[in-house]
């Protein structure tokens, strides 16, 4: 697909533009309750979707968001650029382009995402917020994947997420807790293609609001690990997110990605900048 926005400057410009037009942003949700735009485009944490719908819109509002993120490890770099729309606190649509730089080359992945809130509420009522989502993924590097013995370039991830924000939790702080169950064939989110068999994996997140503008959290993302000879470890991160207002979000994380394409101990840092219109 022809979206060639691979520079972090893209996200920075859009974020500043969004700040200038703050009057157009939905103002119903609590600050930070919309989470981040993840590396796959869905609203949530940095590496995992949550049940939340992108943006701060409520039942009568819509929001548009743009985000740029970069992951740096010892041997690899991942650049993602995303756009997302949240409508009426019910439906979310997103598009993401991932560019994965490896020694001697680059892999690309396009992701079209959709999410629907089907029940519950993030804060109020007896039930947590529950959403169902799908991510259509297509790798743009068929020749490289064929050389690795991987035949499939595209597939669909399906997931269900449950999120709850506890306003008065441990340490007298607000806490957001999420669990996601994903059915996937994707290897390294799809950058290394797709296996023959679909596997269920679990993802979890927890974040504590240190104050109304700052959150500290952690995530865990199970991986299917189904390509012989290319071990795929689970992903983990610890992040800090800053929400200066409802139009701008910045986050930084320490990530442990384990073994990727035969290279072990891929630890490093994740940075993201996000703007809302």
As a three-state string, the secondary structure of the chain is CCCCCCCHHHHHHHHHHHHHCHHHCCCCCCCCCCCEECCCCCEECCCCECCCCCCCCCCCCEEEEEEEEEEEECCCEEEEEEEEEEECCCEEEEEEEEEEEECCEEEEEEEEEEEEEEECCCCCCCCCEEEEEEEEEEECCHHHHHHCCCCECEEEEEEEEEEEEECCCHHHCEEEEEEEEEEEEECHHHCCCEEEEEEEEEEEEEEEEEECCEEEEEEEECCCCCCCCCCCCCEEEEEEEEEEECCEEEEEEEEECCCECCECCCEEEEEEEEEEC
Count up the domains in the chain and report the number.
Answer: 1
Tokens linked to 71: 């992951």
What pLDDT is recorded for position 103? 81
User: Cα-flanking dihedrals φ and ψ of residue 124, to 5°?
Assistant: -100, 160
Which CATH number goes with the domain that contains 132? 2.40.160.40
User: Contact at 8 Å (CB) between 157 and 135?
Assistant: yes
- Is 1 within a domain? no
> In the predicted model, is pLDDT for residue 116 greater than 70?
yes
> In the predicted model, is pLDDT for residue 242 greater than 90?
yes
- Is 2 within a domain? no
- The per-residue pLDDT for range 185-229, each reduced to its tens digit, is 998 899 888 888 899 999 999 999 999 999 999 999 999 988 777
- Is 21 within a domain? yes
Q: Who has greater pLDDT, 198 or 29?
A: 198
Q: Which residues contact residue 5 at a Cβ distance below 8 angstroms, ignoring those fewer than 6 apart?
A: 68, 81, 97
Instruction: Indicate the pairing of strand 174-186 with strand 43-44.
Output: unpaired
Q: What is the CA radius of gyration of the chain?
A: 18
- Is 215 within a domain? yes
User: Cα-flanking dihedrals φ and ψ of residue 145, to 5°?
Assistant: -65, -40
- Is 122 within a domain? yes
Q: What percent of the chain has pLDDT over 70?
A: 86
- Is 70 within a domain? yes
Residue 150 — very low, low, confident or very high, per pLDDT cuts 50/70/90? low
CA–CA dist 161, 120 (Å, integer)? 12
Average pLDDT, the chain: 87
Residue 244 — very low, low, confident or very high, per pLDDT cuts 50/70/90? very high
- Is 55 within a domain? yes
Mean pLDDT of 33-58: 94
- Is 3 within a domain? no
What pLDDT is recorded for position 218? 97
What pLDDT is recorded for position 277? 79
What pLDDT is recorded for position 105? 80
| Structural domain harbouring 65 | 8-276
What pLDDT is recorded for position 28? 64
User: Contact at 8 Å (CB) between 6 and 97?
Assistant: yes
> In the predicted model, is pLDDT for residue 38 greater than 80?
yes
């Amino acid at each position: 697909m022809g979206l060639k926005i691979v520079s972090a400057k893209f996200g920075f410009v859009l974020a500043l533009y969004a700040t200038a037009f703050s009057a157009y942003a939905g103002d119903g949700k609590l600050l930070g309750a919309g989470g981040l735009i993840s590396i796959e485009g869905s609203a949530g944490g940095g590496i995992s979707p949550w049940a939340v719908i992108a943006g701060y819109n409520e039942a009568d509002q819509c929001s548009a968001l743009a985000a740029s993120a970069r992951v740096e490890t010892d041997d690899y770099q991942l650049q993602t650029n995303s756009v997302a729309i949240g409508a009426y606190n019910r439906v979310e649509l997103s598009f993401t382009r991932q560019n994965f730089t490896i020694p001697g080359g680059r892999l690309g992945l396009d992701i079209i995402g959709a999410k629907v809130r089907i029940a519950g509420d993030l804060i109020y009522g007896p039930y947590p917020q529950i959403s169902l989502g799908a991510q259509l993924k297509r790798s743009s590097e068929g020749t490289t994947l064929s050389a690795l013995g991987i035949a499939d370039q595209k597939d669909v991830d399906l997931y269900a997420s449950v999120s709850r924000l506890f306003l008065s939790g441990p340490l007298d702080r607000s806490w957001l807790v999420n669990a996601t169950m994903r059915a996937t064939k994707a290897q390294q989110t799809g950058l290394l293609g797709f296996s023959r068999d679909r596997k269920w994996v679990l993802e979890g997140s927890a974040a504590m609001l240190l104050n109304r503008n700052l959150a500290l959290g952690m995530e865990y993302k199970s991986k299917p690990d189904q390509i012989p000879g290319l071990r795929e470890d689970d992903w983990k991160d610890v992040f800090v997110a800053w929400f200066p207002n409802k139009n701008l979000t910045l986050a930084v994380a320490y990530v442990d990605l384990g073994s990727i394409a035969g290279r072990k101990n891929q630890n490093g840092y994740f940075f993201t900048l996000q703007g809302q219109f």
